[in-house]
Amino acid sequence: MNENKETQILESLDLELRRGTIVLSVLSQLKQPQYGYSLVVLLEDKGFKIDPGTLYPLLRRLEKQELLNSHWDTEGTKPRKYYVLSDMGNSIYSKLTEQWLDVVKKINYLIRSEKDE
């Protein structure tokens, strides 16, 4: 009973932890064009499960913010919408990466300094 509660809290905290990193992980895979479904598979392969219902709206938002360009490929059997980093997307991605590394450094410091005592 208490176990369940703890597990549940942990899950939601873990969710929160991954939340902010979603954009970063998506951007990191879009130097090469990808379509939604391929991204889901690709990220899952690398350890990131992302719900399609989360990813699709995200891609559209990022396109609207002009971090991504997109085009439809109607050649193949099925129409696919490919997304790729725009110039601004590239710029933001590299800056966001720096911020990420900064956050990691600081958190690790907090975690470690508490362990040293």
Partner DNA sequence: TATCATACTGTACGGCACACACTATTGTCA
Partner DNA sequence: TGACAATAGTGTGTGCCGTACAGTATGATA
Site residues (vs its own copies, CB under 8 A): 2, 6, 9-10, 13-14, 16-21, 23-25, 28-29, 31, 46-48, 65, 67, 88, 91-92, 95-97, 99-100, 103-104, 106-107, 109-111, 113-114
Between residues 104 and 116, which has the closer beta carbon with respect to DNA?
A: 104
Q: What is the DSSP string of 37-102?
A: HHHHHHHHHTT----HHHHHHHHHHHHHTTSEEEEEE-SSSS-EEEEEE-HHHHHHHHHHHHHHHH
Give the footprint of DNA on this chain (CB under 7 A).
12, 15-16, 18-19, 22-23, 35-38, 50-54, 56-61, 77-81
